[in-house]
Structure 1
Amino acid sequence: MRRLPIMMLGLGLLLNLLSAKAQTVVPLYKIVPNAKESSVREVNDTTVKRGKVSKVVFPTLTAYLPDAALANGTAVIICPGGGYSYLVVNDEGRNVARELNTRGIAAFVLKYRLPNDETMQNKEIGPLQDAQRAIQIVRQRAGEWHIAPDKIGIAGFSAGGHLASTLSTHYQKALIANPDNVSLRPDFSILVYPVISFQDSLLHKGSKKALIGENASAEKTKEYSNEMQVTDNTPPAFLIHSANDKVVPVGNSINYFKSLSAHGVKAEIHIYQAGGHGYGLNNTTTNDKWINHLYNWLSSNRLIP
C-alpha cells in the first residue's frame, strides 16, 4: 500500500497520532481484589460525545504525560463522574487530562470499578480500592514518569468527586496490598461539582444507592459523608460548584470547605451563580474558566510554576 507523505495526513490527524502514542494504559492489578467470577462485560457507548463507560470489571489507569519541556513534576489522577453507575470518560476524563498537560501537569484518567454485587464481594469498597491502587502506582512509578512523589493529587467530578474526597479522608486504612507502605494520601484534591455527603439534606440519591444502598445505616451513611470525616491531615482542596446545581446540591462543596477550614486545612472554593451540573471544563453560562482559577491555586501552593 502506498504511503502518504506526513503533510498529507493533516495537522489534526498528526497531533492525534502523537497524542495517542504518548498515552499508556496501565492495568491496576494482575489479579483484581474483591472480585467475583461473573458474566458481566464492560460497555463502552461510543455514541455519547461526553463518553460513557459502564460495567467496569478490569480497572485501568491511562497516563497522559506532558511534553518533557513543559513538565513540572506535578501529577493529577482524574476520577470521572457518573453516579457510580457509569463513567463520563471524555468530558470528565480525557479532555481534562489533555488540558492539564498544557500546563506541564501529568494526568492519569482512572477507569474505576462501579459498585456491583455481581462482580464484587463488597461493592462499597471497590471504587476506593481502585483509587488507592492508582495513587500507589503513580507514586511507585514517579521516577519513570518524571513526577515528584509529593506532588500527586486526586481530581473528581460529581460522583468521581465523592471517590476523590473519600480517598482524601479514608487513606489511612489500606484496602489493597501495600507491602512497601506507600503513602495512599493525595497531596491535594480538585473537586468539581462533587458529591461529598450522603446525608439526606445534601445527597445525590443515585450515588448513595449505588455505593452503600438507599437504606444504609446511620453509621454507614456517616462513614461515607466525607465532610464528617475531615481531619487536620486531610489534603488541601480546590472546589468548583454552581449555585443552581439541581443534581448535586452546592451544599456538598460548601460543607466540605467549611470542614476543611475548621481543621486548618488549606482550601479554596468558587461558586458560579449558574451552570447546573456536568459541564466538565466549560460552564457555558459564563466567560470565566474555572481551570484558570485552579492553575492560580496550584501556583500559590507551589505545585506548579
Structure 2
Amino acid sequence: MSISNVTVPTLSIWRPQPGKATGTAVIVAPGGAFTGLAWNLEGASVAKWLASQGVTAFVLKYRVHQPLPGEESKAMPPVRYEQSQHVKTGEKLAMEDGMQAVKLVRSNAARFGIDPHRIGFLGFSAGAMTAMNVVMKGDSESRPDFVAPIYGAAPAVPVPQDAPPLFEVVAVDDPIMFPRALVIFDQWTAAGKQAELHVYEKGGHGFGLGNKDMPVGKWPEAFAAWMVDHGFLPAPK
C-alpha cells in the first residue's frame, strides 16, 4: 500500500510485547520518491519486526510533494532523479518532519518508556535520504543516536563532528542508489566515524525487509546484531 497526498505529518507507534521493551526506539521513514510512502513494505512491516526485537518503533508519515499534472512522479536514474522538482521540494519537507520527529520522541522519552540516548533513524530510499539529511543537517537536539540508511544517499555536506554510528545496506543491482550509497560509507570512515556496510549482489531497489530465501533477506538479522554490538540492544540470552 502506498500513501500519497500527505500534508500533515504524523508518527504511528508499534510497541514491543509487555516485558520485552529494551528502551531503544527507532523512527522508520518509508520511501516513495518523495511523492508517496510505501507504508506497508517499508513502514508497518518494518515496525512490527523492530517491535519483535524489543524496539519501540515510530513510523513517520512525512509530508510529500504533490505533483502537478504531467510532472514526473517516479524515481528516475540518478542525475535526473536528483534534479527533478518533486525531489527538491519533497526532500526539504521530509527533512523538516524527520528532525521534528526526533525532537518529539526524545522530549517524550519518559512517556514512551524509552532511553532518550538510544533513538535511531531507519529509512528506505527517499526515507533513507531523509534519515541522512536529518543526521547531516540537523543539530544535536534533532540528531538521532544511530542511523540506518537502507538503499539511500546522502547530501554533499561535511560529516558532523558528533555523527552517530551508521549501518547501511544496498544491492549491487539497484539502478537508483548503487553506487551512490557507497559514498555514505566512504564519508563516515574518512571522518573516522563508526560505520558498517552490507552490499548484496541481488535485491534491486525497494526490497524492504528482503526475501528471506535470498541473502539480502538476512540484513535485518545483521542490523539486530549490529545494535547489540553497539549497546543499543541487549545481547540475546
**Length-normalised TM-score, structure 1:** 0.66
Q: Residue 275 of structure 1: CA displacement?
A: 1.0
- Counterpart Cα distance in 1 of 2:94 and 2:53: 28
Q: 1:68 matched to which residue of 2? A: 18
- Residue number in structure 2 paired with 1:255: 183
Amino acid at match of 1:188: F
Structure 1: gaps of 5 or more residues: 1-50, 173-181, 197-224
1:197-236 matched pairs, under 5 angstroms:
225-226=155-156, 228-236=157-165
Contact 1:66 1:102 in 2 (8 A): yes
Counterpart amino acid of residue 4 in structure 2: S
- Structure 2: how far apart are the matches of 1:92 and 1:293? 17
The residue that corresponds to 2:79 in the other structure is none
Q: How many residues align?
A: 213
Identity of aligned residues (%): 35
Q: Distance in 2 between matches of 1:56 and 1:194?
A: 21
Offset at residue 285 of structure 1 (A): 6.4
Q: CA deviation at 1:233?
A: 1.7
Question: Residues 94, 188 of structure 1: CA spacing in aligned structure 2 closer, same or farther, 3 A cutoff?
Answer: same
For the Cα contact (< 8 Å) 1:275–1:284, is it kept in 2? no
**1:245–1:266 Cα change, 3 Å:** same
Give, in angstroms, the shift of residue 115 of structure 1: 2.9
Q: Report 1:14-93 matches (<5 A).
A: 51-93=1-43
Deviation at 1:231, TM superposition (A): 2.7
- Matched with 2:114 is 147
Counterpart residue type for residue 247 of structure 1 = I
1:25 maps to none
Counterparts of 2:160 and 2:96, CA distance in 1: 21
Determine the structure 1 residue equivalent to 2:193: 265
Give the aligned residue type for 2:24.
T
Residue type of the alignment partner of 1:152: I
Give the C-alpha shift of residue 241 in structure 1.
Answer: 0.5
Q: Aligned pair in 2 of structure 1 residues 268, 123: CA closer, same or farther (>3 Å)?
A: closer
Q: Does 1:277 align with 2:205?
A: yes
Query: 3-state DSSP class of the match of 1:165?
Result: helix
Task: Give the CA RMSD over aligned residues.
Answer: 1.8
Alignment partner, residue 290 of structure 1: 219
Match of 2:103 among 136, 159, 170: 136
CA contact (8 A) 1:275 1:285 kept: no
Residue matched to 2:145: 187
User: SS at 1:82's partner residue?
Assistant: coil
How far the C-alpha of 1:254 sits from its partner, in A, is 1.0
SS of residue in 1 equivalent to 2:106: helix
The aligned counterpart of 1:244 is 173
- Higher helix proportion, which one? 2
- Listed as ranges, the gaps of 5+ residues in structure 2 are 69-88
3-state SS in 1 of match to 2:38: coil
Per-residue deviation, 1:117: 8.3
CA distance in 1, matches of 2:117, 2:62: 23
Relative to structure 1, is the Cα distance of residues 284 and 65 closer, same or farther in structure 2, using a 3 angstrom cutoff? closer
